[in-house]
Amino acid sequence: MLTDTACKKVICPADKARVRLSDAGGLYLEVAPNGSKRWFWKYYFDGKEKRLALGSYPDITLKAARASRDDARQLHRTGVDPAHQRQVEKLSRRVDSDASFESVAREFHRTKKSAWSPKYAARWMSIMEKDAFPWLGAFPLASITAPMLLQVLRRVEGRGAHETAHTLRQWAGQVFRHGIAIGRCERNPAPDLQGALVPIQTKHMAAVLEPGEAGELMRAIAAYAGQPTTRAALHLSALLFQRPGNIRQMRWADVDLEAAMWTIRAVDMKRTKRAKINGRPHLVPLASQAVALLKDLHPLTGHGSYVFPSLLTGERPMSDNTVRTALRRMGYSNEEMTAHGFRAMARTIMVEQMDVQPEVIEAQLAHGKSGPLGAAYDRAEFVAKRRTMMQQWADHLDQLRKG
């Protein structure tokens, strides 16, 4: 370990090019024959030996040099080359401050958020502020390389958030593409990282998929001893197989019992913001069993807005945990059946056991149409087919329940 006295007294003989006095952690003082004394920190990055100049002695004291070394080591631990960052900082002082990653990202967000849902826009900025800006925000966009971006993504992976890491790579790519469009950079390094992240293990929602097990589930629903509205929500979830959020937020004003039709407004569907505003409503034909169930339920909740109101206040729909909790009380674990699982149960059994056309089921599930025909299907024909399918499904559930 060096002392301040040793730093003052050391000299370099005239016959030597330099003299180096080592401290700790890679810090050393280099003395030249002309008497100049400079601090350096030796480190390794990507397997190569490098050194970082920390200033001249005695302008930079031994204590200050150690502090600078510690700061550089801390930066090095995050996966950033301190020497490269110093170059970038010098460059950033000479370029437009609007060219930083954070500035371009915020500009992109302002440009796009009017077309995004508020929830998506908030999540986009939240992830950027938490996982990107602290490490990349101050860097000029053009100076950020694929390895630099990868180090940031590795930090996210390190806490087990693999899906967030993939999302951040995609969204960082959006920032770079915007930067290219406005002249802040010339290339997008995000595609270079394709395949560099840990793959996402897709986890499907647990669901009952065998006819015999579906029959047991329907018998358990019929015997459910909890709130009548909760039992009705369970039964309708099976009969209508719509998204859990749409089931629990069903409004009496949207249900036409005479026409046996439930009309879900476009704004309530899982769609893009544009489709929520301009899209058509989703039509859900009601089988006779569903109509009868709703008629029985109307005296209980028909005085309010929601078919399934909250038990605490009728001004809000039931909690999104109500059906899940009821399934647990019936003995179904989260690995066996979920509220979302009624959709998978209906699709699987109808395709495999009832020989229903998959595209008709997909239309009823409100999944986006794919393929060259897209939305060009005859909508009226599909409504008629779905009405028939929904009655067949309700009858089939009755048969399964009776064993």
Residues taking part in catalysis:
243, 270, 340, 343, 367, 377
For residue 328, the Cα-to-chain-centroid distance in whole angstroms is: 27
Work out the angle between the directed axes of helices 341-353 and 228-240 (0-180°, nearest 10): 40
Amino acid letter, residue 19:
V
Work out the angle at residue 78's Cα, subtended by the Cα atoms of residues 192 and 23, and round it to the nearest 5 degrees.
135
Structure tokens at 197: 């992240």
| Phi-psi group of 344: left, alpha or beta (phi > 0 → left; psi -120 to 50 → alpha; rest → beta) | alpha
Distance between CA atoms of residues 182 and 171, nearest Å: 17
Number of H-type helices and E-type strands within the chain: 17, 7
Q: Which value, to the nearest 10 degrees, does the dihedral of the CA atoms of residues 140, 146, 151, 156 take?
A: 90
Tokens of 286: 């009601």
Task: Give the count of beta carbons closer than 10 Å to the beta carbon of residue 121.
Answer: 17
Cα separation values, 92 from 5, 80, 88, Å: 38, 16, 6
Q: How far is CA 337 from the centre of its chain?
A: 23
CA distance 296 to 195: 55
382, 367 Cβ separation under 8 angstroms: no
Q: How many other CB atoms are there within 10 angstroms of residue 310's CB atom?
A: 16
Q: Which residues contact 398 (CB under 8 A, 6 or more apart)?
A: 218, 289
Task: Give the Cα separation of 181 and 179 in Å (integer).
Answer: 5
